[in-house]
Structure 1
């Protein structure tokens, strides 16, 4: 464990385990560096695994000014962790907010990415829900500040795509909710206002995504409704991209279904490292239902 100093001076807390090819885990808004424990324990047997707390999430620094938080800054923080730890290139795995940052990392820092796992990424991306997402993001920020993290966590942790986790694994969900209740209110509010509410829609990135060369795996739960269409969209536009949909699963995929999640990542990494996770064969033309000549 230790700290990496980002290029703007903010200190980012990290923990690591294992040796070998690096994997960097990027957490969601409702989680923190601890959210990747099932993956840290599994992959540290064969990889050098790093999990870090985003700015605004103690033990990382919590800048008081919302201007220190943005999608671009969250993306740069991943690069700063990789550079600061001398990793060279890494497999980058992100969930939700971390998934969006992982997409942007592939666009802006492809030279530092061995592969991308983009999980549960889609909230606010659907064009018809953009204004609603911005409004509810502001409400979430206000609730953290006015109610406090401990009280509001009990509400936030019961979102429409969180109850699946509670139903399957009450102890795991309770731990998730308790950790959420320990978050810094200012950091949570600034993250929601500066990163979540202001990030560009994935659909506005199509031209760049179509030429992004990094091998990618998109994962979504089938009951994480606002991530399903964005997941299918990313499968269609990112050249070397696979898509995995987990049945009867919500948003907190890596905690809700850790065995399936880990197995999928292990196979993906093996294919990437063997040079076999390639762009889609051009003969697989979706305009052609059946070949006739």
Structure 2
């Protein structure tokens, strides 16, 4: 009598996604989850909060802890908060992914590696943005240089934006996790509320549409979040730090604020799967990003 082939054990666990700013951590999380749970822009420090992305596969479930980029600037309360959030993500994880950019190994990459080495969790090295490397033959020497004298459970060159190389990466990450049934439902994609995600989608538009410095002086507070049948009524306040920044956000005749609101609304409707009525305002709170009390009010809490 023939026996049935033994299925591989189901695995599940928490995996921190760590690296310096702007290496593509959030893009990778979204690609693995299969939905947009982390906002993305070309700017460093787009991610400010620790966020859980739930990636469910046949053989296991990876709970991706997307973190702010580790960086050396700790002069302001916001920077210190983001570094604490990134380091705090390692407290309960079973594994980690160190995400770097192909062809680059900077001091901040080394600092991120040292943080992971101190945490003593299995670390998979993810070399992202390989699609931007013109000389593909340079990748092998680069990998040899980065891995020399450093310990990694596996190494995976990928292009998260194009979803290249993700299947073998998933297999390597699952191999680091304990045997466990799924920890979340198959249709769940994040532990964050729709209210939180709404604020992030507004902030994403600020990062994409404003000039060099202003986006870092803005944050978003959701004042109203009401369900009206299949309609969501959302009121969002965009906070800036100085009076001179307010007209920049609003734009001539309110045009830029309308564009921000319109794009954010469409993104919400796509993510939430229902109609959204969004109102936006811009207000000033002097120096909020260096004010611990203001940070807590706006949701930047450990």
TM range (shorter): under 0.3
Q: TM-score, normalised by structure 1?
A: 0.27
Using the size of structure 2 for normalisation, the TM-score is: 0.26
> Which structure dedicates a bigger proportion of its chain to strand?
2
Higher helix content, 1 or 2: 1
